[in-house]
Structure 1
Amino acid sequence: MALEKYNAKRDFKKTAEPQGVKKSSNGALRFVVQKHAASHLHYDFRLEIDGVLVSWAVPKGPSSNPADKRLAMHVEDHPMDYIDFEGTIPKGEYGGGTVMVWDIGTYHAEENDAVSKDNLLMKKQLKSGSIKVVLDGGKLHGSWHLVKMKGENDQWLLMKSKDEFADKKEFDPNSILTGRDFDAIAKGKKVWHRNRESDEKIVEDPILGEIKSDPKKAVKKLKSNDEFTAEDLADAKKISKFPDDWRPQLATLADETFDNDDWIFETKFDGYRALAQIQNSEVTLLSRNGLPFNSKYPEIAKTLESIANDLILDGEIVVEDSKGKSHFQWLQHLEEKPKQGQLKFYVFDILYFQGYDLRELELLQRKKILKAILPKLKNIVYSEHTIGNGTKAFAEAVKKNGEGIIAKKSDSKYYTDKRTKDWLKIKTDKQQEMVIGGFTEPRGGRVGIGALLCGYYDGSELKYSGKVGSGYTETILKDLRHKLDKIERKSSPFTTTPKEPGVHWVSPKLVAQIKFSEFTDTGSMRHPVYLGLRSDKNPKDVIMETPKVETENVAGTKSETKKATTKKATKKPAESDKALSKELPSDTKVEFTNLDKIYFPKEKITKGDVVQYYNSVADYILPYLIDRPESLRRTPDGINSEGFFQKNVAGTVPKWIKTRKIKSDSAETAVEWLLCQDKETLLFLANYGCIEMNPWSSRIGSLNNPDYIIFDLDPKGAPMKNIVKTALKVKEILDSLSVPAYIKTSGGNGLHVFIPVEPKYTYEQTRNFSHLVSQMVHRDLPEITSLERMPNKRKGKVYLDFLQNGKGKTMASIYSLRPREGAGVSTPLEWNEINDGLDLKAFNIKTIPDRLADKGDLWKDFFKNAINLKEILSKI
């Protein structure tokens, strides 16, 4: 069916669906299965043929059971631009409903290996009414058939052929692209209306129509996605009562700045945190612990009264100088010097709007709403942010002598009255609140006090943290003495009484903001400076604030130490870090951090030990890593944490590291993969939390053609003697074919057999060879081996996993550590070591350097012995 029929069914003045334009088919052909909740739920099965998506509607969807023959109604062709659409078509339009990309990938005609011939073959198959294809998608794999029913123009049957991919019981029901279900997609923003960039149509907005102060705001010109419409409140909860008991979300202290596109970065203001409750044009300003601020900052409250909407805003009250720098002490003494600087309220979040609780919305969505509704007022300012580049934001804060930055996860919700790790504070200087427990008498010509004696709470105990003798003016000294005399007491409030002459003890009721260079080993502040009193803090809440988050553990971050920006912010390495660093190259570009962190608790193996291991084996492992895209398995918290995989390193690694953009067959955008080309990159990866190295089986220049074939002998509870027996059987069969076989430990409980192959065969060809040999092994050892993919069907047997041979699939490299108990290393073995006495635990981080010194690289001639696969197959 030509695209004319597709175009005829659609009014492109009302829908933004792509107009049907035929395109040329180049490279591997693509397919998509879209799950469509229209008047009736069905699946749309689409194959790229001759520049269009030839389409069938399958009511019950694909089944992997070859016995199931699913009805498939041939419908109009769709344009290629339709292949990754996922969203909602408005009701009333043709096909109105929610569309999900259920599966997507590439395919080829059955029994054809030449991509260039696929399109012609598929045109012939379509015309004949019998289509046989091999799918390589996220869910659907292997051979599938579409057969036209006799006497029926549009009715076909879709069925699965019998192969290793048949009889998969269940498929994931959600989107292969985003993981969303229908509800999540329906609530999303991908709704096909007219192009908002050019549409001048005025649309009634039922939610904005509730704005009583200005009826004109009830309509919006849909010119830009930055404007505020009813859609923006779709996920917000309607509540009946104005919430007057909410308190601010708090940030957690982090050790250093970082870059990450999933985070935003804002200025850390040096002032008082405040919530502004606006109801019926009446304003209540509250401190972070609920104290009223109206009388203290009446100018702010008065300005906010001009906002007619009911809102709750979150922000910071500051006093700025002419250069825009905030000064906490100026804010402290605003009453005495009201003209010293400019009073402002910086607003960075919105919690409530016109009866809607916005806390469940994502942060960027809340900020979008806030920016749209916050009017331009002289002392009320929207707090801008940057996305991704925390290093630059921090450098700007240092340049302006600011307090620091706040990092916030862009998709995070708002958690009232909680301190979370979705918000991180990163300071240029060390600052924190301290409880005043006493003071000394002034000396010389000084008035008021000599120094404050400060502390922090550790449970119910007030720990002494040192005396603060600088940062005061004469006015401040007199004011402090006046306040402290009122709360003087006879005994020390500190758990351990400091030995200072002329001390006056006071009840721990006042909180001071202190700046200092660092804590000493005894918990005292070094070089402390008084900044002011904090009336918004409860003394019992003041604890020693140390970084709770190491930003190198934030997934996908490019962590930059503050040393690169300012000396004041330099993070001093631990003594153990220094000791370990001495064993590492001194001229490397890698800046080693946290080397004393424990990675393997039972063995007491540190991050530094892991870095040093890779430093010692670099010459052995690099030949198996160079030019191969790396899938980074990062375990920055050690083996007791789950860790995560990172493929795309765009913007997260130093510029000196080589990367390569590779476009997946099933995705429109390229992913930037890391290449481990040298020792410095290897050490960077180890310092980045990569205990394990995972390269592709193919190299840049021949990415579609692997240069080794893998036999993964996965034990799943099988005894060692059966693993050994299986490995020897693989060797026996390969010997009979005159194929060189190299064996190594997996680094865990299994064994890997590798065959070097000339890089001119496809992944499918190498996988088929692995499958063929695995079938021979299983034929000879049916009692102890299995080809079953489902673990519950192969308990206690050695799984012959031939599916590890696939483009983009990765496996722990030779000489790679594994992040599991024992610190095992994937180690080359000699075949005479494969016997019942084999102890896989003997090959670990502590034994491999000596083994290499003794035996060298047992695989040094591996790639020299690459086989011609076609010649081998001709012998079978």
Structure 2
Amino acid sequence: MMKLSEYNKKRDFKKTAEPKGKVKKSGEVLHFVVQKHEASHLHFDWRLEIDGVLVSWAVPKGPSADPSVKRLAMQVEDHPMDYIDFEGTIPKGQYGGGTVMVWDTGNYMAEGADTVSQSKKLIQKMHDEGNIKIIMQGKKLKGSYHLVRMSGKKEEWLLMKGKDDFANKKNFDQHSVLTGRTLKEIEEDKSSDTWESNKKGAKANSGDKSHILTENNEAELSFTAEDLADAKRRKTFPKEWKPQLATLTDEAFDDSDWIFENKYDGYRALIQINGGKVNLVSRNGLSFNKKYKSLVDSFLVIKDDIMLDGEIVVEDSKGKSHFQWLQDYEESPGRGKLKYYVFDILYFNGYDLTALSLLQRKHILKAILPESTTILYSDHIIGKGRQALNKIAKRGGEGIIAKKLDSSYHVNKRSKDWLKIKVTKEQEMVIGGYTEPKGTRNRFGSLLIGYYDNGKLIYSGKVGTGFNEASLEKLHSSLMNIETTTCHFAEKPKIPNVHWVKPELVAQVKFTEWTAGGSMRHPVFVALRTDKKAKEVLREKPLKNTKNTEQHNDVSKKDFKSDKVDITNPDKIFWPKEGYTKGDVIAYYDVMADYVLKYIKDRPQSLRRNPDGIKNQGFFQKDMSGKTPKWVKTRKLTSSSDGESVAYLICNDKETLLYMANLGCIEINPWSSRIGSINNPDYIIFDLDPNKASLQDLITTAKKVKEILDKLNIKGYLKTSGGKGLHIFIPVKPNYTYRLTREFSRLISETVYKALPDITSLERMPKKRIGKVYLDFLQNGKGKTMACAYSLRPREGATCSAPLQWSELDHDFDIKNYNIKTMPQRIREKGDLWNDFFNDAIDLKAVLDKLKK
């Protein structure tokens, strides 16, 4: 590899905004960037993070997804890591002068490597040998790519796509993955990283304007004749056209080939402006001109012949739309602001634009729209569908529309190039009856559902989707067992041929919103809840910014906010004796998140949910497939017992931690291995269960474990279990199997037992080891979980699994002293006692070899 000194030598950093060349230590992942570069000639710069720098190649024709295509790649000087998000203009006269776009970026791994550390070593070896094979995880570049040095050449390489599921012959999108801009837009933007159209107050385009289209040869437009090169000429105005419709889908996704827009809660309408006359037309061809006359008048400022596609809405002062206000606008025009959001243009001054790509059409649209508080351009983001849906959900919106960015406009057709994705909510519901099946449906048609309010069962609608044959059969059998002739709803629904049932079964239902009449909109059956009593099912009313009113401790006095989680029932009592609430649990994890997350990041979670607090055992939930908001990360893993695929929740940020707490997860139970090295745990667990043994015997046993570990020069990390026992954790390098970690734990446990046979036991049956400390080495197994450091426990006193200093195991030691009330103050005084945990990882095989000698 070349040195950064060559990079620095070629640049005058007083004149160019490029970052100075400094080597940086590699992080937890390996990055790459591909930049499109308009310099003396157009080319692509392919850059891979190797040993703290971006090793770089110039690829004249750019990457291809076709395995049969080989591209020349010329190795150039290494670039600094800070270059990875450089996008802008390098001044003329400077080295590489021209425009730079971040065409794609992401992470990569060396082929054959299971871990990042292995990948770092392997990629250096591959580079030295001139044969680089990597797996790309970018927005555009995905799967296998190869770089091979040409025989006898030093700087000349060949770049090619490997044969895999991502191989195809499609052309890549040519917009920036950071800002969505073209090279030209980046070049013309002299002020910021975000391009703005040539509206009032925006900069006019510079350079040669001879090809700019004009409006009656007077007002300049900020798009050129080239933008209309693929548009068709049309002699007549297309009054007969109707809007393109979207296809419903049930899940948001991230894809750089798609854009994502707000799904407006209003009336879809086309604006037809022809010969100075404006016509506002519904999706079914009906005129809205009379009903929304003020909106029609707003479009008179446009003098071109155009056809626009958009949505009519009425918004309140906070920008939230209200469909009911829109319907009643003629009678009550003062209730909100009437607006038209424009998201497409179909026709412009004799040109049929429907064959142009979506981004071309939106570029033209943005350029011609007037400055207005009534006529608004519908903005979008590229690639980040989950983020878009989350933003809409936070604002209380209906959903998003996903559109393929290179798609044409399909007049009067429903297309899969446009997808509608709705925001959904979930709620427990009591089943009060069911209807007869219709058509091809077996067993039953719909469930009649409701919730309790002041002891009365309130009907909230029917749910008839979300079932498969197995769930239909099982649920129907349960329903027949509780059939009755009595309707238990407070007001009997006026539905014929209903089979009434006793209100005993509780269903989990997802839906989009509550209607004004108290019914669920678009309900979908998820599952039966066996842990919930029907009488406890109330209508949940989310609170976004929860402030605990009961001040039991320092935590509950804190006002906490969550941008993504709708906190529900924060005042629900979880510990009846102490009076601690669900809100106290959420506030605790809000305060302690930075400490908890270190020990659960990238680890599958087995959710132990206690939605009713500690009064019952709650239930464990592993498979979260289709049950989480789209922003919550999950990972499918195959169960070793039955071979079924389970979507485990992965908690890598505070919002997800608060989401878990809001589900009633008092306790946090991660695996002892991480995604990326899932078969290789990175700590060993010693679970010391007293089983009615004395506290002194428990302390004696823990100190004996420490004594043995000290002789092996191994640091054991101590914590309370949060119950009655103690945990000792040993960090290990994630290079070995669960079998080996269990073998090590067994050997140490057997040594402890031989030293303390009167107070310890290896017997698995509890009744055979009463009064002795159980040395449970079997906790070291794939998929087995243990409460993490700083996790609360659903036990009396709201105790916590608290990291300890060994010196704290003295005559004053009391596990109950470490709880929801004391831990935040303790962490402020002592800091994280496990802060160096992963830095002390041992080489397990070397230790085992030493033990067996």
Per the normalisation by structure 2, the TM-score is 0.41
| Greater relative contact order (Cα < 8 A, sep 6+) | 1
Higher-Rg member (1/2)? 1
